[in-house]
A and B are shown apart, each in its own frame.
Chain A
Amino acid sequence: MTQPKPRLTTSAMIASIASEGQRTQAAPFGKALVAYAADHPEIVGLTADLAKYTDLHLFAQAYPNRFYQMGIAEQVLMASAGGMAKVGLTPFATTYAVFGTRRAYDFVHQVIAEEHLNVKICCALPGLTTGYGPSHQATDDLAMMRAIPGMTIVDPCDALEISQAVPQIAAHNGPVYMRLLRGNVPLLLDEYDYQFELGKAKLLCDGNEVLVISSGLMTMRALEVAQKLRSDRISVAVLHVPTLKPLDEAAILREAGKGGRLVVVSENHSVIGGLGEAVASLLLQQGVVPTRFKLLALPDAFLDAGALPTLHDRYGISTEKFAQSVKLWLKQ
């Protein structure tokens, strides 16, 4: 008798995106911020009732006098972080990505960005990382943030990258929007001898037939796809682009210009306004036109609620569906 398939439950906010048996690291953002803040008294932390769910609670415990709870008031969260930056502090403001962008957009735009203030907006639940439906799924956050002049945007892949990014975004002069993975965060880039550099894309593995250009957790998926397709003798290169703005145009043009490869841009975000359209625009304007170019991203739609494995399959960003799409496109 075959075992019945386990019934999947809705993925709550605390769900880890790590697959079974995957190595993880707990709370990389909170730990990195606590470490950096030890020698940087100008760092303060603010949240809108989501310290625990953004790993900022570690900072609050370590530095209670440098932590400000703003309640569920994302507009004031962003504007007051701007106010603190105006007197010389470096605020890290955390909430969920939907609230930090959609709810507080004018406050980010007019208070923080217009004066190029030193606020670091770090937002959990990027893209499709919760099963709670569109109220909590930030499938459009990168599009909104990319439209703001002077905003630096980081979409990290794993725990190592988050740890390395924290001191760099803190030291960067100006506003930053960083997507956060929190809780038990997958750890994989240490196997690639990886070092995050703000504004730089990194080639994680090379291959002749496919070039995946990706950010965030889709880089993890791309590396899994590269591994998987090796048994089919398909070789896949992965260019990881953690900084969406400013874009590492030179690295993208260099890799996409090599020719003969299927180019796939993959992101945990709507096909509208994210990395895919940024890369497409760059390539067209520079006259670098791959023979085959595909976007592997979330559809322009309000996504379903449910369990993340189901949803990632449904919208084509699971490793298996990703690999299937690549194989299909190679045959076209």
Chain B
Amino acid sequence: MSTLNQLRASAYRIRRHAVRMGAVQGQGYIGQALGYADVLAVAYCHALNLRPSDPEWDGRDRFLLSHGHYAIAFYAALIEAGFIDEEELFTYGGDDSRLPMSGMATYTPGMEISGGSLGLGLPIAIGIALGLRHQHNPAIVYNSMSDGELNEGSTWEAAMIASHYQLSNLICLVDINNMQADGPSSKVMAFEPLADKWAAFGWHVQRVDGNDLAAVLNAFDTARQLLDPKPRVILFDTLMGKGVPFLEARDKNHFIRVEPQEWAQAISALDQAKPEGA
């Protein structure tokens, strides 16, 4: 099976795990999880250098989940990558679970930071990237963030510092689903022309369709293999609810409405489009 087909199967399973977790709680940021599953599949099943049995391994690439509310998607990726057993998804959001609704570093193996207070991830990534370089550790730092975090001043402080220090071991991933708490991100606080903004800050910029697996794969490989002494950013345009047609079509908002009976329907929809070999 080709890499692409394997990743397609991984993305399918990440979506499925996430929907099953949503069903456990009857809620969750499932629109974001479905939209971002392809990016997470490439990150966790292709790009990142990790040892699932040793989450604290010094040589690991770091993946920082700045948008802590994407935890449901992230746990699904951790299950797919082998950090967490699939059975554990039934504890999602429960008391004393290792899988809280908003991601926290001290709860979950493989969770590098406590995100959720938006705009923290990239500033932390600066320190980790500088620290790894200081120690001659070749690991790569990935900061994953939402388009809403483009509103935060700390993001742009960090963007400036990253290019000042030529942090070529830093890759920033931005999920542009154009939706934040009060409405479309571009309406809440206009962010375009986004690629130009990052380029002006001294970053190597790619903008791709975040639901086109081949494009996502190519963007990760380009960012990892680049010799340019610049920090890299990949801007992913994604569709909330991707893979579940009735959620794709639903009126979009930050916390997408899912009726109790629809969780099972969402699983069926995913299974109907199950990729070959999954």
Contacts and interface: CB of A to CB of B under 8 A. Distances in A.
A83 B161 contact: no
A222 to B, nearest CB: 39
A80 B137 contact: no
Contacts of B164: 71
Contact of A84 (B114, B128, B157, B158): B128
Interface in B110-151: 112-114, 117, 119-120, 123-132, 134-135, 137
B137 A87 contact: yes
Contacts of B106: 114-115
B124 A75 contact: no
A111 interface: yes
A128 B77 CA distance: 51
A114 B103 CA distance: 13
Given A73-B157, A87-B131, A80 B117 contact: no
Contacts of A75: 119, 123, 153-154, 157
A79 B126 contact: yes
A86 B128 contact: yes
Given A79-B120, A79-B124, A87-B137, A111 B113 contact: yes
A88 to B, nearest CB: 7
A83 B135 contact: no
A277 interface: no
Contact of B128 (A68, A83, A106, A115): A83
A155 B104 CA distance: 31
Q: Is the interface of A mostly helix, strand, loop or mixed?
A: helix
B160 interface: yes
Interface residues of B, number: 29
B124 A80 contact: yes
A83 to B, nearest CB: 2
B127 A82 contact: yes
A92 B262 CA distance: 52
A84 B154 contact: no
A173 to B, nearest CB: 16
A7 B124 CA distance: 48
Contact of B131 (A71, A78, A84): A84
Contacts, number: 95
A80 B170 CA distance: 13
Q: How big is chain A's contact interface, by range?
A: 20 to 34
Best-buried of B105, B106, B124, B137 by chain A (most CB within 10 Å): B124
A138 interface: no
A83 B130 contact: yes
Contacts of B123: 75-76, 78-80, 83, 107, 111
B134 A89 contact: yes
Most buried by A among B105, B117, B123, B129: B123
A78 B157 CA distance: 12
A115 B114 contact: yes
Interface in B94-112: 104-106, 112
Nearest to B113: A111
Nearest to A48: B157
B135 A88 contact: yes
A78 B154 CA distance: 11
A60 interface: no
A91 to B, nearest CB: 8
Tell which of A78, A87, A91, A115 has the most Cβ of chain B within 10 Å.
Answer: A87
A111 B120 contact: yes
Contacts of B158: 73, 76, 79-80
Contacts of B124: 79-80, 82-83, 86, 111
A80 B125 CA distance: 7
Contacts of B132: 87
A68 B130 contact: yes
Nearest to B159: A76
Interface string A58-96: 000000011010110101101111111111110100000
A188 B1 CA distance: 76
A70 B112 CA distance: 22
A76 B154 contact: yes
A87 B126 contact: no
Contact of B135 (A70, A71, A87, A107): A87
Nearest to B153: A75
29 contacts: A44-B131, A70-B161, A71-B160, A73-B158, A73-B161, A75-B153, A76-B161, A78-B123, A79-B120, A79-B158, A80-B126, A80-B158, A82-B124, A83-B124, A83-B130, A83-B131, A85-B127, A86-B127, A86-B128, A87-B128, A87-B132, A88-B135, A89-B134, A107-B123, A110-B117, A110-B120, A111-B120, A111-B124, A114-B114
Given A78-B123, A79-B126, A91-B127, 13 more contacts: A71-B160, A76-B157, A79-B124, A79-B158, A83-B126, A84-B130, A86-B128, A87-B131, A87-B132, A106-B117, A107-B120, A111-B123, A115-B106
Interface of B: 104-106, 112-114, 117, 119-120, 123-132, 134-135, 137, 153-154, 157-158, 160-161, 164
Interface of A: 44, 65-66, 68, 70-71, 73, 75-76, 78-89, 91, 106-107, 110-111, 114-115
Q: Which 8 A-B pairs have the closest CB atoms?
A: A83-B127, A80-B127, A79-B123, A87-B131, A83-B128, A73-B157, A84-B131, A76-B123
